[in-house]
Amino acid sequence: MTRPGSKFALLRASFTLLVVSSLLLIPNLPFMSWRVAATDVLQKRTGNPEPGKPQATIANLDKVRAEKPGVPEVPMPVRSTIPSRKNPPVPWDGHRPGDPLPVIARATNR
C-alpha cells in the first residue's frame, strides 16, 4: 500500500534532480561549443601570408604639423527634465546662502 504523499514526493525528487543536473550542465555548454568551433577554425585556416615585417600605416608627421587646429565647438547644454531636490524652481533673487537678509522698513501708520 502506498502512502498518499509518495507520488508527490517522487515527483518532487525527480524535478529536483532535473533542475540540479541542468544547473550543473548549462554553465559548461558555451565552453563545449567554443572548443568545437575552435577546432573547426584551425582546420579551415586559409590564406597567403607574406614573408617579412608587416607594413605599418603611419600618418605623415609633416602634414599633421602643417594642419591648423580647428576651433573647438562646445555642444549646447541639455536641460534637465528632472527637478532638483536641493534647489527649488524659483528665480534667483540675488542673494546667496549665508548673506545677511536685507532690512525691510516697516510702514508706520500715523
In whole angstroms, give the CA distance from residue 30 to residue 54.
34
Instruction: Tell me the domain boundaries of the chain.
Output: 1-44
From residue 18, alpha-carbon distances to 13, 15, 56, 70, 93 in Å are 9, 5, 56, 65, 70
Give tens-digit pLDDT for 41-88.
556 667 777 888 877 788 888 988 898 888 889 999 888 777 777 776
For Cα atoms 16, 20, 24, give the angle at the middle one, nearest 5 degrees. 170
Amino acid at 79: R
> Is the CB of residue 89 less than 8 Å from the CB of residue 83?
yes
Which range among 4-8, 17-21, 23-27, 31-35 shows the weakest confidence by mean pLDDT?
Answer: 31-35
Q: What is the pLDDT of residue 15?
A: 92
